[in-house]
Structures are given as structure tokens and as C-alpha cells.
Amino acid sequence: MRFSDSRRRAVTLEASGDWLDVEILGEREFLACITPRIAGIHLADWLRNNPDWLADRRRRHGALLFRGFDIGNVARLNEVVNAATGAPPLEYRYRASPRHALEKGYHIYTSTDYPAHQAIFLHNEHAFSREFPAGLFFCCLVPPGSGGETPLGDNRWITECIPRDIRERFDEHGVLYERNFNHGFGLTWQRAFGTGDRDAVERECARREIECTWSGADQLQTLQKGPAMVCHPRTGERLWFNHATFFNALSLPAAMKETLTRDGASVTWPTQTYYGNGEEIEDEVIECLRGIYIESRLLFPWRHGDVLFLDNLLGVHGRMPFGGDRRIAVAMSEICSWQQLAADGQA
């Protein structure tokens, strides 16, 4: 997958007082690159002392890239998250991807522990879950040797581009998520739920209104229905927010699909999605959605110390394959739930 170079050009430049420059990257107003005009600005202090400025920029754009503030370690990133949101980062629970904490005492994790040659498709973080973060922070500790960009997409634009009939059908029925654990691919249920206790898993599933079924020696299937659209808590906009595309088998890495279908037997996918009434989602619908996500893509090259603050409802993100080393730290903030953001009062 390739990105158009035209999406990297700056289209506006403005000063924020005597302190910061704000440069809009790409064809839309989605990604703003913010740099200091003078040396020595402490980013955490600036954000703490200018909450209205940050809130306005977040609503206006959705993605804010802070560059040139030298936030090159976990402790400094933790300060930035606290300053920007008024609370420490969230613990990563009910996991969907392999990550590990970078330092003891901080809920700051590796971006995703997938092999370097694999791409990760665009998605909203944890949109399949009843509880999810409203904000995401990415920090570049070690830039990739090559590739390794974090592609972004404007979710306002994505929502507008989805054909009305597709959007209305999903809006009516919601999305049904199927996850299959301990079938040889994806996370084990022990790692996803953070426990080896089946009773604890069942209690957590009940709390999250997830249907769970055990089979075989150690296999688990979960089913959960969620909305396709939610209302943004700050702007009131109705936005496409789900994993219908990301968790669908058509979006799995090609190598995984080839391995799972090699012998021609019935396939148990690690994840699969359906309309909320249980009906199959047509392949052409998933391909249409994938095309819209791909068309939305915008990328920038990581530099050491960069911090990206992404509104998880206004933007989607992924990962490009990379060469050499790459260390991108991730922190999640501001827990939300489907009930809080239910579109038209429908949870």
C-alpha cells in the first residue's frame, strides 16, 4: 500500500501568540503539526496552562503532532498525558493486540508487537469494546530505519464518504463481533483478559455484556453486539465508529488468510464481523469500506521526540511495515463507553 506524496504538503501556517507555530498537513484540516517558536518550551506545562487552546485544536483537527519538544522517554510522555487530560494513562485491558508495558509503574505500552513486515489496517482504537479510550498518545522513542509510518485517516471524511444505504443498514442493526481464542492465531484468551482464571473471564464477559462459549481443551469464543455509529462527546457529531472492517476476515493479513485456508477445511477466523442481526456482511460492502479507509490515509515521517495526540473518535490509525529498529510508545486516555455516546439514544 502506497501513500500519495501530495498528502504531505503544508497548506497553511499560522502563529499561536509568540510561542507555537501550527502547520496544517495534507489536503484537509485533520492533522496539525505544532512546533515551538522559541527553545525551551516545556510541553506538559504549556498544555496544562492552555486547556482551552488544546480543546479547540482537538475539536478543529482531530490529530495534533507536537514536534521539537524533545519528549523522548516514557516519563516525559506520562507528564504530557497527565497535563493534556488531567489524568494518568489508562491501563490496557480486554486486549485486541499484543503489547507490553515499556517501564514499570506506567501504563505506557509498545504500539503493537507485530512483526516488522506486517501492515496494520486503519481503525479506531478499541471500537469493538463497550469501553474504549477517547484519546491516544503516540511518542517516537526510536524512529524506524525505513517505513514504519503511522497512517492516519479523518473519520469525519470517512463517515461522509460511506454510501448512505450501507451506513443506514449498519446504523439500524449495529455490528456483531466474533472473537476466537486459542485456535493458533491471535491473542490467547489468557493474554486478552489478563488472567488464566475461567471464572474471572466469565465475570468480565458478563460485565461487558459479552456472550462467551468454551470448547475443546482450552478454546473460547466470544460474541458481542455494538453500535456502528456514536455521537462525539465534545462536538455532538454522529460518527462511524466500529471494527466492522478491521475485525472482518477480509482485512486479515494475507499470509494469515493463506495459512488458515490452505487445507480447504472449515476455517475458524481469529476475528469476524456480522451485521448486528447476525447476517453476513457482503464482501463488496467490506471492500467498499476498506477502499474508503485507504483513500483517507495520510502519513508523516516519525522523528525522535514526536508526540501525536489523536482524538480516537475523530481519527483512525494503523501501521506501515518497517525496516531497522522502531520504538513508538502508546498511551490511552479518557475512558468512554457506548452508552455515554449512544447515537440517537440507541446503545
Query: What domains can you pick out in the chain, each with its CATH number?
Result: 5-115+133-144+301-335 (3.60.130.10), 159-291 (3.60.130.10)
Residue 201 burial class via C-beta count within 10 angstroms: exposed 0-12, middle 13-18, buried 19 and up: buried
Report which of 119, 310, 130 is spatially closest to residue 206, judged by C-alpha positions.
130
- Quick one: DSSP state of residue 279? P
- Quick one: DSSP state of residue 7? G
pLDDT band at residue 339 under the 50/70/90 scheme? confident
Digit-coded pLDDT (tens) for 99-119: 888 988 899 998 888 888 999
What's the confidence (pLDDT) of residue 265? Answer: 62
Grid coordinates belonging to 299: 502519513
Digit-coded pLDDT (tens) for 191-206: 999 999 999 999 999 9
Q: What angle do CA 32, 1, 152 make, to 5 degrees?
A: 20
Q: In whole angstroms, what is the distance from residue 155 CA to residue 168 CA?
A: 17
Q: In whole angstroms, what is the distance from residue 56 CA to residue 58 CA?
A: 5
Q: Give the residue-averaged pLDDT of 221-230.
A: 97
Q: Give the residue-averaged pLDDT of 219-246.
A: 96
Digit-coded pLDDT (tens) for 124-151: 999 999 999 999 999 999 999 999 999 9
Indicate if the alpha-carbon torsion angle 3, 305, 334, 49 is positive or negative: negative
Q: Is the pLDDT of residue 166 over 60?
A: yes
What's the confidence (pLDDT) of residue 319? Answer: 96
pLDDT band at residue 346 under the 50/70/90 scheme? very low
Grid coordinates belonging to 61: 483537527
pLDDT band at residue 212 under the 50/70/90 scheme? very high
pTM over 0.95: no
pLDDT band at residue 217 under the 50/70/90 scheme? confident
Q: In whole angstroms, what is the distance from residue 220 CA to residue 211 CA?
A: 10
Digit-coded pLDDT (tens) for 264-323: 667 789 999 999 999 999 999 999 999 999 999 999 999 999 999 999 999 999 999 999
Higher pLDDT, 262 or 49: 49
Grid coordinates belonging to 196: 488464566
SS3 316: strand
Indicate if the alpha-carbon torsion angle 201, 207, 208, 212 is positive or negative: positive
Q: In whole angstroms, what is the distance from residue 110 CA to residue 30 CA?
A: 25
